[in-house]
Structure 1
Amino acid sequence: MKKTALTLAFLFLAGPALAQATGDLTQQHFDALDRDGNGTISKAEYDAFMGEAFAKMDRNGNGTLSPQETTGILTVEQFAVVDANSDGRITREEFMTQVSQDFALGDRNRDGSLN
């Protein structure tokens, strides 16, 4: 996936104009995710933020994301990757599975946090 969930996270915070295809976070974005202010983003902090992002994107409140709800956030190709069962909807479970995979990729030293 070219835009990781990290990119999705700060797209959600700041809008598509600030997206960086590398998934690098600005200090402002990092600070928003680092809820306890300890200088690292734990898996729990990341999951909580991304769960909230899912809820905000789910504009109709039906528990799934349609392509229309992710326009400007995910490309068609990215949507297809997250939509693991290819039913044209992203469930919270599918979304959080991708989020977990993206977190693991970002956790380069495997200490359970992003820093």
Structure 2
Amino acid sequence: MNYQECIDACLKCMTDCEYCLEKMIGKNSHNDCPHCCRECLDICDLCAKALARGSKYSAQYCELCAEICEWCAEQCAAHDHEHCQKCAESCRKCAEECREVAMKIAA
């Protein structure tokens, strides 16, 4: 099974979260941004690696990645900053791809 679209979504999300995290350093936040970005970029990295190597735990990584990405999207979308909005968009796309892959693997 080819997981390249999901891997690409994870890598894009990871880099957008890293950028958002960097831009939020020293700024006040009324929610879990930028903390969610750290969690999100870490799980996206793990998920992409698991998919690339065909880990038997790929479905579980994808499920957790989708859950964390959805949380991060919600947190970042609450901010008006362009980098937060971009991060939220990447997180939503990654969550969608991860859920789709997890369902395919489980089937």
TM category, shorter: 0.3 to 0.5
Which structure has more RCO (C-alpha within 8 Å, separation ≥ 6)? Answer: 2
Given the two structures, how large is their TM-score scaled by the length of structure 1? 0.35
Return the structure number with greater strand share: 1
